[in-house]
Amino acid sequence: MPVLCCPAVAVPEHTITLEETLELAERIHADHDELPLALKLITNTGVATRQLVQPIEETLRHPGFEERNSVYVREAKARIPDVVDRALKQAGTAADEIDAIIYVSCTGFTMPSLTAWMINALGFRHDVRQIPIAQLGCAAGGAAINRAHDFCLAHPGSDVLIVACEFCSLCYQPDDVTVGNLLCNGLFGDAVAAAVVRSEGDQGVRLERNGTRLVPGTEDWIAYAVKSTGFHFLLDRRVPGTMEQLAPALRAVAAEHDWDATDLDFYVIHAGGPRILDDLSHFLDVEPGKFDHSRATLTEHGNIASAVVLDALRRTWESGTVAHGARGLIAGFGPGITAEITLGTWLTRSSTPTPEPATAH
């Protein structure tokens, strides 16, 4: 059965703390009627630090959509190669052995996809299948794992590379001053992550089953308004409450595999915000401590969109606390509102190499 190998993650070198975020908000939006509420919401995210691809002075400057997208392409090409190289090494494979590349990102746009550039620049074969996913937002990390699982089942013997590249700071819009956007300005961070799904393996998460669920009538709750200045993130205040509807979906997918979603050994959950984790813990009846690795990603990096589940999985791996044969669940949540759900069994070898921690580049 396909095995998801240990991810590699890199965060940029420009760090902003919660205290600096609050000070900037107070300075830039001093006359905002709802500033106290925005500051409270930002504080309650639990995000202590975030990393940005540009210094904060450049991040706050909006030079236009064209230049912003040029920054996205430049920074992606500068940062992806190292992460891909580490992911391949951690999987014990090489670029010329990869049969498909799934590239997920919602914070910049290129055509052709950056999969084409990776094939030309990073040593992949020219017959590699390209599977870019651009519009699933934060759910795309889970979707990438599931589509890699599907590909390996459909093409026995194949190996798939997943790359998630998210520079959320490039979506900062200085003229959007709703409370929701002020909150987002203090929540999202930047990261690049990669992982390999191998058709066979004895170390990683053996992928058992996957499923997807959409909450009806919520397609405008998480969205982009595409304007001349770029992508304007829209976040409905009802989004955090969707875990009450999605918890049964996680139970249902697990039940299809005769597993109990409330009683698994590990959980890798998209940490969109603290309430997502708190509510899922409550409605899924899972001890809050089971989400510690997801919460750590949120605290140290912020919401890094599709890269969250890969970073939380890396942390789970590094913890060394998951035993061989442990059963677990991976879930990404995003626009739709969509849940991408994966069930897997933890595999370890007797001598497990220690994965490299998330690096700053």
**Percent of the chain clearing pLDDT 90 (strictly above):** 80
Q: How far apart, in whole angstroms, are the C-alpha atoms of residue 5 and residue 17?
A: 31
Going by pLDDT thresholds of 50, 70 and 90, the confidence category of residue 353 is very low
Query: Per residue in 29-75, pLDDT tens?
Result: 888 988 999 899 999 999 999 999 999 999 999 999 999 999 999 99
Number of H helices, E strands in the chain: 11, 15
- Residue 359 confidence class, pLDDT cut points 50, 70, 90: confident
How many CA atoms does the CB half-sphere of 183 hold within 13 Å? Answer: 19
Selecting among 5, 106, 138, 165, the annotated active-site residue is 138
What amino acid occupies position 123?
G
Residues 211-217, mean pLDDT to the nearest whole number:
94
Q: Residue 361's pLDDT band (boundaries 50, 70, 90)?
A: low
Q: What is the pTM of this model?
A: 0.93
Q: What is the pLDDT of residues 306-321, one digit of tens each?
A: 999 999 999 999 999 9
The residue type of 21 is T
CA dist., res. 343 & res. 296, Å (int): 22
pLDDT single digits (tens) 108-166: 999 999 999 999 999 999 999 999 999 999 999 999 999 999 999 999 999 999 999 99
Enclosing H/E stretch for 194: strand 190-198
Alpha-carbon separation of residue 284 from 247, 252, 256, 281 (angstroms): 5, 11, 16, 5
CA proximity to 330, closest of 320, 350, 315: 315
pLDDT at 352 exceeding the cut of 50: no
User: Which pLDDT value is given to residue 180?
Assistant: 82
Predicted confidence at residue 184, as pLDDT, reads: 87
pLDDT, position 178: 85
Whether 175 has a pLDDT exceeding 90, the answer reads no
User: Does 6 qualify as catalytic in the annotation?
Assistant: no
Q: Residue 121 has which token pair?
A: 């620049």
Structure tokens at 65: 């959509």
**63 Cβ contact list (under 8 Å, min separation 6):** none
pLDDT score, position 355: 55
pLDDT bucket at 356, cuts 50 / 70 / 90: low
Is 308:164 a contact under the CB 8 Å cutoff? no
Q: Which of 180-184, 332-336, 345-349 has the lowest mean pLDDT?
A: 180-184
Mean pLDDT score of the chain:
93
pLDDT for residue 281 is more than 80: yes
Q: Report whether the peptide linkage leading into residue 112 is cis, meaning its omega lies within 30 degrees of zero.
A: yes
Average pLDDT on 178-196 reads 92
Strongest mean pLDDT among 30-39, 119-128, 181-190, 238-247: 119-128
pLDDT tens profile 291-311:
999 999 999 999 999 999 999
What domains can you pick out in the chain, each with its CATH number? 3-198 (3.40.47.10), 204-348 (3.40.47.10)
Token pair listed for 137: 């937002």
Question: For 225-239, what is the mean pLDDT?
Answer: 87
> How many other β-carbons are positioned within 10 Å of the β-carbon of residue 243?
23
**Band of pLDDT at residue 357, cut at 50, 70 and 90:** low
59: Cβ contacts below 8 Å, ≥ 6 apart: 14, 52, 169, 172
